[in-house]
């Protein structure tokens, strides 16, 4: 039977995953209704089950949920079509390699499998579902019925992450018409940099059971398609890690948005304290040696208040109306971001938050300026996670254009000066935790989810009136909105 097409612009709907204690709720508004009439179709998981990730097949509208010990396939009206169990199983996070490869001397206990990454591989019609069991191995499932096509686990390249937290892994697929696709993987390493690179590019073979699945795109004795955090970094910041919040591809580059701890000296003080800095990381898609790695700090300020802790981000287009206001083309990429106030709290962010917009081209221009100055021999590499921060830049006579992908020198590279976003909206009490945006009838719409379970349409970003919907009860836990799909207020 032919699938009905997914109508993105005629659907006034949203999908929210709301963490409520030990249960999880998925809600969707089924049709355009007046504000007083709004109701929601809901889907609840098992009582002890939490939803971790959500992806929507943009061709069919089918919804895939990555949950604890389970993968769901739902219809667009939230009816269960298929389920696939992923756990629990006997495991111990100290077992490396995992016990399914060799005997482990650590005590084994029944362990849940938390979904840490969920991606649709459209080219091969399969779902990539990676969990917390066995050092982060992945299953490749057929989209139609979640039949297991493959589950590579016998090589170290198959263990993507040892962090047993949801949201610690982010993946971006780069697709090619006549070659195997590649998968960029970014993950926290949880103090185990010898086992896990923080960023790497992997092969996505056509055959889900192929020996080369998830192998590094390039690897020899000296160079590989990866970035590893040097072990001596942990002597300066013992709990150092790079926490990945969002990832995407645009043009010739792949980008990840991160939170990173740094040691800084407050004004007027000689002692250092740990803060968290939000940074954008950029790599060339075709750079197999990762010489193009650049990171730039990002943040936002409004009325003298600094918002520096990244909570969420989403890539969208400017649209004609907002594009005119910002002085950019309607098809230019914008990053809609949510930051919370300050820099000192990562896990317990302050409730004050801001929605800010970054013009991606301006970030790329700032990166190009930094590359040009470094290749003139000015400054140092300036990366907080390198123990020796004053490695000098080396001069070289070459032209650096918008698509420069680095050499085996002056890499990896950091940008010192922060790129500031454009503040659109601030919230002082109900912290914003998620954001999504899209263009409808030349207007750019932005919606955010909040800690208390509300969905808000931002004022001044579209034709629609300001909108606020309660999608879940208040809870002492932060609401987690993993995806919002909405439409255009076409009834207005």
End-to-end CA distance of the chain: 35
Task: Give phi and psi for 319, each to the nearest 5.
Answer: 75, 160
d(CA 368, CA 83): 47
pLDDT at site 342: 85
Q: pLDDT tens for residues 96-126?
A: 888 888 889 999 999 999 999 999 999 999 9
Which pLDDT band holds residue 458 (cuts at 50, 70, 90)?
A: confident
- Domain of 202 in residue numbering reads as 47-219
Express as a percent the part of the chain with pLDDT over 90: 65
pTM for this entry: 0.89
For residues 414-421, average pLDDT: 95
Could you tell me the CATH number of the domain that includes residue 81? 2.130.10.10
Peptide bond before 88: cis, by omega within 30 degrees of 0? yes
Q: pLDDT tens for residues 233-286?
A: 888 888 889 999 999 999 999 999 999 998 887 777 788 888 899 999 999 999
pLDDT at site 108: 95
d(CA 366, CA 368): 5
CB 231 within 8 A of CB 194: yes
- Note whether residue 287 is domain-resident: no
- Note whether residue 229 is domain-resident: no
- Note whether residue 483 is domain-resident: no
- Using alpha carbons only, give the angle 93, 257, 315 rounded to the nearest 5 degrees: 125
- Note whether residue 75 is domain-resident: yes
- Note whether residue 98 is domain-resident: yes
pLDDT at site 3: 39
CB 425 within 8 A of CB 354: yes
- Note whether residue 39 is domain-resident: no
- Note whether residue 51 is domain-resident: yes
Q: Residue 476 burial by CB count (10 A; 0-12/13-18/19+): exposed, middle or buried?
A: exposed
Q: Which of 194, 193, 195, 170 is nearest to 183 (CA)?
A: 170
- Note whether residue 367 is domain-resident: no
Which pLDDT band holds residue 162 (cuts at 50, 70, 90)?
A: confident
The total number of structural domains in the chain stands at: 1
């Amino acid at each position: 039977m032919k699938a009905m097409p997914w109508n993105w612009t005629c659907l006034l709907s949203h999908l929210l995953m709301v963490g409520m204690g030990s249960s999880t709720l998925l809600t969707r508004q089924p049709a355009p209704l007046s504000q007083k009439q709004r109701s929601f179709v809901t889907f609840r998981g098992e009582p002890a089950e939490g939803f971790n990730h959500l992806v929507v097949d943009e061709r069919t509208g089918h919804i895939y949920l990555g949950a604890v010990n389970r993968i769901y396939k739902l219809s667009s009206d939230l009816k269960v079509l298929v389920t696939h169990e992923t756990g629990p199983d006997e495991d111990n996070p100290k077992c490396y390699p995992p016990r399914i490869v060799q005997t482990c001397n650590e005590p084994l206990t029944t362990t849940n499998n938390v979904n840490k990454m969920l991606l649709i591989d459209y080219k091969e019609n399969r779902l990539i579902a990676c969990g917390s069991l066995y050092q982060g191995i992945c299953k490749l499932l057929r989209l139609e019925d979640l039949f297991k096509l493959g589950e590579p686990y016998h090589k170290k390249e198959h263990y993507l992450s040892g962090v047993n937290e949801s949201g610690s892994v982010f993946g971006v697929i780069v697709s090619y018409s006549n070659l195997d696709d590649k998968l960029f993987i970014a993950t926290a390493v949880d103090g185990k940099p010898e086992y896990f690179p923080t960023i790497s590019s992997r092969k996505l073979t056509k055959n889900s059971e192929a020996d080369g699945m998830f192998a590094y795109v390039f690897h020899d004795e000296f160079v590989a398609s990866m970035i590893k955090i040097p072990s001596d970094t942990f002597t300066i910041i013992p709990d150092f890690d790079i926490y990945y919040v969002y990832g995407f591809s645009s043009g010739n580059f792949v980008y990840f948005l991160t939170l990173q701890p740094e040691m800084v000296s407050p004004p007027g003080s000689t002692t250092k304290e740990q803060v968290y800095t939000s940074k954008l990381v950029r790599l060339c898609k075709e750079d197999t040696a990762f010489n193009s790695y650049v990171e730039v700090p990002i943040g936002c300020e409004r009325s003298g208040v600094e918002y520096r802790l990244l909570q969420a981000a989403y890539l969208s287009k400017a649209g004609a109306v907002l594009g005119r206001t910002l002085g950019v083309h309607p098809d230019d990429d914008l990053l809609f971001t949510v930051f919370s106030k300050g820099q000192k709290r990562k896990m317990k962010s302050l409730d004050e938050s801001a929605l800010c917009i970054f013009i991606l081209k301006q970030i790329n221009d700032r990166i190009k300026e930094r590359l040009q100055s470094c290749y003139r021999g000015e400054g140092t590499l300036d990366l907080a996670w390198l123990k020796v921060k004053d490695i000098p830049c080396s001069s070289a006579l070459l032209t650096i254009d918008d698509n420069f992908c680095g050499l085996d020198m002056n890499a990896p590279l950091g940008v010192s000066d922060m790129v500031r976003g454009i503040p659109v909206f601030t919230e002082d009490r109900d912290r914003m935790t998620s954001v999504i945006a899209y263009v409808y009838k030349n207007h750019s719409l932005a919606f955010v989810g909040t800690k208390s379970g509300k969905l808000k349409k931002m004022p001044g970003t579209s034709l629609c009136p300001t909108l606020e919907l309660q999608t879940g009860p208040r809870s002492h836990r932060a609401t987690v909105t993993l995806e919002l799909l909405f439409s255009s207020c076409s009834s207005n």
